[in-house]
Chain A
Amino acid sequence: MEGQEARTAGQFTNEEWLEGLRGPGRDEAIANLRRILMRGLRYGLADRPEVDEAAREDFVQEAVLKILASLDSFRGESRFTTWAQKTAVRVALTELRRLRWRDVSLDDVTRFPDADFIPRSLADASAGPEQKTVQNALLEILRRLVSDELTDKQRQAVTAVYFHGMPIEEVARRMGTNRNGLYKLLHDARQRIKKAMIAQGLSEKSILDAFDS
């Protein structure tokens, strides 16, 4: 990339990046990209002490391959470095989640039969008697809905994600679907529960009042 000594790589235009990565000066452009992504991950993953420079290099390597393979899909609606860094972050966090949860099976996080993870009453010291009555009624409804209204798959997903906090792509992988598919599954489950809660005759307001923080 010509004139690059005069500016830092962070100041290249989108066109310069694309030309650089596609043209004869490719190796230099890739080196610049790598440097920027490494720096980005150093900051972006700074709160994860388990991530070392070698791990970052692996993430960046994978990200660079993905970026080069999808250059044609960059629409120029954002800065190239933003678009590229997005992929690096996605690659890194996906792998870190996979590692963190690799010893946890779906069975481990869906072991509770039916809706037992929902308590019969909240240990809510701040709730007055009326609020408590509504809370307990709602919890009973929620237990029944999760138990009866949701499909097995929806219930598995709800339990694993909302109760156990398992990342959705980890749950997705174990259920043989992808992240987007699992999000839709959860969305359907939430919609069913919401509709059923409203159909019980409870107003949104009363539900929110009972469950305000």
Chain B
Amino acid sequence: MKALDPGKLKRMVRDMLATSADEIGCDECFEQLDRFVDLELAGKRAAEALPLVQDHLNRCHNCREEFEALLTALRAEP
């Protein structure tokens, strides 16, 4: 029977432990993502300015995927 590989399981346990009551959801993260990305592109400390967004991106695979694609897309601007 297929089971989680050790690396994935360790990450899962660490993620469980890192759960905090203050997390924001996907909607709120998306709402602030443009501000976050602009700060990032300007070389300013986005994670410090919007820590809950950074926290969500660390946890949520789908949101992180969108963030990375957005960053790449914007870096292409002439």
Contacts and interface: CB of A to CB of B under 8 A. Distances in A.
Interface of A: 8, 10, 36, 39-46, 77-79, 81-83, 85-86, 88-90, 92-93, 97, 112, 116-119, 122-124, 138-139, 142, 162-163, 165, 167-169, 179-180, 183-184, 187, 190-191, 193-194, 197, 204, 207-208, 211-213
Given A40-B77, A78-B34, A122-B9, A89 B1 contact: no
A93 B65 contact: yes
23 contacts: A8-B78, A10-B78, A77-B35, A82-B74, A85-B70, A86-B34, A89-B70, A93-B62, A116-B1, A117-B3, A118-B3, A122-B6, A123-B6, A138-B13, A163-B4, A168-B60, A179-B26, A183-B60, A191-B21, A204-B17, A211-B9, A211-B13, A213-B11
B25 A184 contact: yes
Contact of A183 (B21, B26, B73): B26
Contacts of A83: 34
B27 A180 contact: yes
Contacts, number: 130
